[in-house]
């Protein structure tokens, strides 16, 4: 019966997520937590009550997006599903530049490992599909998806916003098509 009060709490939690998303986008995931609490119009302790530490907040901001991507991908059936995945992942990273930093730190920060797992989960079905259809080389493994994500986001966060689109496109070109001249 702890329901009726829940509405406020949920609103606050959501305000925090939104504020965090904005601050992460503008100043990176290492932005002072105070800035997030302030933007959310909420006390510091409330932030701590809702998210044990910075990384839980990071996770809360990005997990949904990655899950949605996975959802969409799982419905694909075309042979080049995996190329769609790469494109969408690239777009996702371009529109959420702080996500790259989050993934980079997944190594040492426990909460962020989940994010990496979600990315891998999001692309795995498409990878299998495309490999079965013979459009993607057979030696790729699901675990490579995280490397792919690192590549697709490389250099975006610190780049000037006006340059990001170009870097993203170029990165995709390099990654997708390879360096070798075609015979």
Partner DNA sequence: AATGAATGAGGGTTCATTCAT
Partner DNA sequence: GATGAATGAACCCTCATTCAT
Q: Which residues of 11-24 are buried (b: 16+ CB within 10 A; e: fewer)?
A: ebbebbbebbbbbb
| Chosen from DNA, a second copy, none, partner binding at 48 (C-beta under 5 to 8 Å by type) | DNA
Residues contacting residue 13 through CB under 8 Å, at least 6 positions apart: 50
Residue 12 near DNA by CB under 7 A: yes
DSSP class of residue 52? S
Q: Is 49 in the site for DNA (CB under 7 A)?
A: yes
Give the count of alpha carbons within 13 A of 164, CB side only. Answer: 18
Q: Which of 9, 78, 173, 174 binds DNA (CB under 7 A)?
A: 9
Tell me which stretch binds DNA (CB under 7 A): 39-47, 81-89, 132-140, 145-153. Answer: 39-47
Nearest approach, Cβ of residue 15 and a second copy (Å): 20
User: Read out DSSP for 67-78?
Assistant: HHHHHHHHT--S
- The span from the CA of 144 to the CA of 117, in Å, is 11
Q: x/- contact string, 94-133, with DNA (CB under 7 A)?
A: ----------------------------------------
Taking residues 53 to 92 in sequence order and writing x for each that binds DNA by CB under 7 A, - otherwise, the string is xx--------------------------------------
Q: Would you count residue 30 as binding DNA (CB under 7 A)?
A: yes
Q: How many CB atoms lie within 10 A of CB 65?
A: 17
The contact set with DNA (CB under 7 A) reads 2-3, 5-9, 12-13, 30, 32-35, 41-46, 48-50, 53-54
């Amino acid at each position: 019966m702890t329901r009726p009060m829940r509405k406020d709490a949920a609103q606050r939690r959501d305000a925090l997520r939104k504020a965090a998303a904005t601050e992460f986008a503008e100043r990176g995931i290492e932005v002072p937590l105070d800035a997030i609490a302030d933007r959310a119009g909420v006390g510091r302790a409330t932030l701590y009550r809702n998210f044990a530490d910075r990384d839980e907040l990071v996770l809360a901001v990005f997990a949904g997006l990655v899950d949605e991507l996975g959802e969409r991908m799982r419905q694909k059936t075309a042979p080049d599903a995996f190329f769609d995945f790469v494109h969408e992942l690239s777009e996702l990273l371009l529109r959420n530049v702080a996500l790259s930093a989050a993934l980079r730190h997944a190594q040492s920060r426990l909460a962020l490992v989940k994010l990496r797992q979600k990315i891998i989960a999001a692309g795995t079905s498409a990878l299998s599909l495309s490999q079965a259809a013979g459009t993607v080389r057979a030696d790729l493994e699901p675990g490579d998806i995280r490397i792919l994500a690192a590549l697709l986001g490389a250099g975006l966060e610190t780049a000037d916003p006006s340059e990001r689109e170009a870097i993203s496109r170029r990165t995709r070109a390099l990654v997708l098509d390879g360096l070798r001249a075609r015979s």
